[in-house]
Chains A and B, each alone.
Chain A
Amino acid sequence: MDGSGNNVLLNVNRLTVHFHTDRGLVRALDHADLRVSRGEVVGLIGESGSGKSTLARSVLRILPFSAEIAEGEISLSGEDLLAMKESDLNNRVRGRGITLIPQDPFTSLNPVYSIGTQMEDIVRWKGSAGIGEGPAGAKVIEILERVQIPSPRDQIGKYPHQLSGGQRQRILIAMALLPGPALVIADEPTTALDVTVEAQILQLMKSLVLGKGISVLFITHDLGVASQICHRIVVMYAGQDMEEAPVDVLFSNPRHPYTKELLESLPNAEGTIRDIPGEVPNLIQPPPGCRFHPRCSRANNLCALVLPEKKTVAEGHRVRCLYPLEA
């Protein structure tokens, strides 16, 4: 699965998004491409401000009013999402074809309804293609069993504050799977959790998704987490997609200078600290051409002039760089 061919579920092409702010036009995404195949888990990684959440929000068309999609295409199963009417989006895409696992389990559930009520609402409004037949209550119990909530019958009457962070995240995962989506967007789903609970949640997500025909766009800034669950990784920097490759290839053989330096800046047991000189650019006046060029040791004048096309350096491995590193 390299995202090519007819198996493509989500296709994002040359997506350019601007935000209108008091300080000026923020160029949050610059001609970014992304493809997710059926059944594939794609990791979207990058530091803050790299545009990964903007890209995910564009797909669901839930950007704030200040945002403008200036250029590009987004399609799901061949259907143009940018041309779709709001009512169609609400009926067929949001919470149905595409669901979201949010980042923060502490604020994403409604505090004044029991979790059973919140989940039955989903079954009523969005259907429950994710699981079998039966009344709404039975379906909720079934999905709670699947996300390994112990004795679910005793839990459905509880309110969010009575549950731990890990349990709340399990419930949010259950809610995302209930309508039987084709694509789940997981936005930093383990960032707020402790490391032992994070390991449990990743294990759970793997068992629920892998081999079940569900595609996942997994957004994270944690490269270690991405290693655990993703088939393929797309690396973003300052609104540009820099490199994409199967997970093992990306981490063992990065070809974009940014990816390489990012991996080298991770803590290691040897105790040598390496950082990337310079700072992430201001996206109101981003550097022209490749946005990494001011911090790149390989850059020359040409890098400041053109945004390179993504070139294929090996099967499924594409790099947006004029001078990619040697294999």
Chain B
Amino acid sequence: MQNPILRIVNLKKHFRSSAGFLGRRAAIIKALDGVSLDVGKGETFGLVGESGCGKSTLGKTILGIYRPTHGSVFFEGRDITHLSRKEMVKLRKNIQYVYQNPGSSLDPRWNVKKILAEPLMIHSSAGVAAVEKQVEEMMEAVGLTKEQLSLYPHEFSGGQQRRLGLARILTLNPKVVILDEPTSGLDVSVQATILKLFRDLKFRFHLTYLFISHNLGVVQMMCGRVAVMYGGKIVELGETSRLFAEPLHPYTKVLLAAIPVVGKRREEGLSLSGEPPNPAEFPSGCRFWPRCAYREDLCTAEEPSLVTVKEGRAVSCHRIA
């Protein structure tokens, strides 16, 4: 891709688990183990996978919340992997993270006005009146009213708290927004309202979204391109509509087949045995082989790499590449 807004090159994040308690041994947990991808300006890029696949770790490592163990992150062509604290603070204006649980990421002792004004106080030199005006505008942009500025977070519903979470980061006019499970825990009717808002805000503020979700239906609806993660790596990447219509990796196939569809009984036999691997002890070779119906000798011996198999589609599987 030419001039991606975000370029991630072989990014790894390994955690060391603590030893000692009840005789447990220390282990290296390979939460993120070599991910490369480009995100273009204005894209909504989806990251999907089951719990423990590394999708949230990827989001947090991009932003420097976690220091990467290996690899680089480029923002608008500039390597931001090893910025100093001070430089990182400046950069964070451009890349913002919306946390999974908005209720617990809003300070319960602050009223909404204070919560929304805080980022502006840190990042801009605007005067009090200008900040106040911007805060009011942002409330309206996310579908709330300026009368609600004196309220506290607990006085809002789950859907409204998500709106507040968005309003808070949008005051900084970011370029990239990382949405971590932005609809989990919401009822379907509220979910639809919030998704609509994401779409409106994207056009209005020219945003690029990195959309992390385990909800494949939502990703299908919102994202232009999508990467499927398994065991800390990308197993398949491509245009969402084509990937959903014709998944190539065996894991993508069973993952899509496992989505319960309204009004349609699932066909027998397409379900997947076993559970996702433990990131402290991955199997040798391909990380998916213990659950794979198509495994061959090569799969247990050698790890496949992500290879472009056709226009815009990359797959990490020995059978396909």
**Chain A interfacial positions (CB closer than 8 Å to B):** 47-48, 164-166, 194-200, 202-203, 221-225, 227-228, 247-248, 251-252, 261-263, 265-269, 271, 273-276, 279-280
Q: Which residue of A lies closest to B268 (CB)?
A: A203
Contacts A47-B187, A228-B266, A274-B192 known; A195 to B157 CB distance under 8 Å?
no
- CB-based contact A221/B221 at 8 Å: no
Contact B265 A266 (CB under 8 A): no
Q: Once the chains bind, are A227 and B265 in contact (CB under 8 Å)?
A: yes
Contact with A along B186-210 (1 / 0, CB 8 A): 0111111101100100000000000
B:85-124 near A, CB below 8 Å: none
* Separation of A199 and B214 alpha carbons in the complex (Å): 14
A selection of 26 A-B contacts at a CB cut-off of 8 Å is A47-B187, A47-B189, A47-B190, A194-B51, A195-B258, A195-B259, A196-B255, A196-B276, A199-B266, A199-B272, A200-B271, A200-B272, A202-B260, A221-B187, A223-B262, A224-B261, A227-B264, A227-B265, A228-B260, A265-B191, A266-B188, A267-B217, A267-B218, A267-B220, A268-B217, A273-B196
Q: How far is the CB of A189 from the nearest CB of chain B, in Å? A: 13
Residues of A within 8 A of B137 (CB): none
Give chain B interface residues in 134-190, CB to chain A under 8 Å. 157, 159, 187-190
Distance to closest chain B CB from A208 (angstroms): 15
User: With a CB–CB cut-off of 8 A, which chain A residues contact B276?
Assistant: 194, 196
Partner of A224, one of B195, B218, B220, B259: B259
| Interface assignment of B244: CB less than 8 Å from any CB of chain A | yes
A266 B259 Cβ-Cβ under 8 A: no
Could you list which residues of chain B lie within 8 angstroms of chain A, going by C-beta atoms?
Answer: 50-51, 157, 159, 187-193, 195-196, 199, 214-218, 220-222, 241, 244, 254-255, 257-266, 268, 271-273, 275-276
> A251-B262, A269-B221, A273-B192 are known contacts. Are A195 and B271 too (CB-CB below 8 A)?
no
List of A residues within 8 angstroms of B266 by Cβ: 199, 202, 228
Query: Would B260 and A198 count as touching, CB distance under 8 A?
Result: yes
Other A-B contacts than A196-B272, A203-B268, A228-B260, 13 sampled, CB-CB below 8 A, are A48-B187, A164-B275, A194-B214, A195-B259, A198-B258, A223-B188, A247-B263, A267-B192, A267-B221, A269-B241, A269-B244, A275-B189, A279-B157
